[in-house]
Amino acid sequence: MFFACTHAGGSGKKRQCVLSGRSAITNYLHNNDLPEDVSFRGSLAVDTEAMGLNNVRDRLCVVQISDGCGDAHLVHFPEARYDAPHLKKLLADTSRPKIYHFARFDVAILMQYLGVEAGPLYCTRTASRLCRTYTDRHGLRDLCREILGIEISKQQQTSYWGAAELSEEQIAYAAADVLYLHQLKEALDGRLEACGRLTLAQRVMDCIPARAALDLAGWAAEDIFAH
């Protein structure tokens, strides 16, 4: 189920049912910021959508959040205006761990446009690379299929996220990117522990904000630890 919420300059309301997997979920779409009265429990799954893959050139368009309880909240920025105090406060809250898939990109773009370091963090792609060494397929779709037995669509990945209004397909796609991250973290932690790499994984993930800052500072294509 999808609700378009109006606040912070938003206009119009609509409601639509959307099915994800075997059960109905509720997706909330907000313009420009989270409402003050939205509450979340525990750790947060976080993802972003942008105009492209260059997080300096290609602006932030959507931030997706889920606390793993079956709902997703999407904050849409139809214009390049990022005065989002409630969203920024939530992302900057260090008492709430954040779960990402490919945190390097998301953390950097949140730094660039919202001015927050959204941690502490866990990255399911990094975890996958450390424990699923039998494959080079570490995309979110691959993890959901193998580990959870869930098929998610990536058809909207390269769609136009800068539109004034998001399509139903874009909303469903964006929500799916955060709905399963809590389950994936639990499963991947089990695998990391089994191969003795859980502590190593967390140490690597603790370095991701610094790697993201290097990306923004112009060192995206360089390994600064190389000889």
DSSP 18-38: -EETTEE-EEEEEESS--TT-
Answer yes or no: is 44 within a domain.
yes
Answer yes or no: is 225 within a domain.
no
Which pLDDT band, with edges at 50, 70 and 90, does 128 fall under?
very high
**Minimal CA–CA distance to 93: which of 121, 132, 133, 61?**
121
The number of folded domains in the chain is 1
Asked whether the predicted pLDDT for residue 11 surpasses 50, the reply is no
| Exposure of 208 in the CB half-sphere (CA atoms within 13 A) | 31
Which pLDDT band, with edges at 50, 70 and 90, does 157 fall under?
low
Q: Phi-psi region for residue 60, left (φ > 0), alpha (ψ -120 to 50) or beta?
A: beta
Asked whether the predicted pLDDT for residue 27 surpasses 90, the reply is yes
Average confidence (pLDDT) over 73-81: 97
What number of helices (H) and strands (E) belong to the chain?
8, 10
Structural tokens at position 36: 């003050």
Answer yes or no: is 227 within a domain.
no
Asked whether the predicted pLDDT for residue 19 surpasses 90, the reply is no
Which pLDDT band, with edges at 50, 70 and 90, does 4 fall under?
low
Tens of pLDDT, residue by residue over 79-114, are: 999 999 999 999 999 999 999 999 999 999 999 999
76's CB contacts (< 8 A; 6+ apart) are 29, 30, 31, 32, 61, 62, 166
Asked whether the predicted pLDDT for residue 163 surpasses 70, the reply is yes
**Phi, psi values for residue 127, rounded to 5°:** -60, -40
Asked whether the predicted pLDDT for residue 75 surpasses 50, the reply is yes
Domain range enclosing 199: 2-219
Which pLDDT band, with edges at 50, 70 and 90, does 130 fall under?
very high
| CATH number of the domain enclosing 58 | 3.30.420.10
Answer yes or no: is 27 within a domain.
yes
Separation CA 8–CA 142 (nearest Å): 37
Answer yes or no: is 185 within a domain.
yes
Among 72-81, 106-115, 158-167, name the one with the lowest average pLDDT.
Answer: 158-167
Structural tokens at position 184: 């994936």
For residue 12, what pLDDT is reported?
30
Cis ω before 120 (30° cut-off from 0):
yes
Count Cβ atoms within 10 A of the Cβ of residue 128 and give its class: 0-12 exposed, 13-18 middle, 19 or more buried.
buried
Answer yes or no: is 126 within a domain.
yes
For residue 64, what pLDDT is reported?
98
Answer yes or no: is 224 within a domain.
no
The pTM is what? 0.89
Which pLDDT band, with edges at 50, 70 and 90, does 159 fall under?
confident
Collapsing DSSP states into helix, strand and coil, what is residue 91? helix
Answer yes or no: is 65 within a domain.
yes
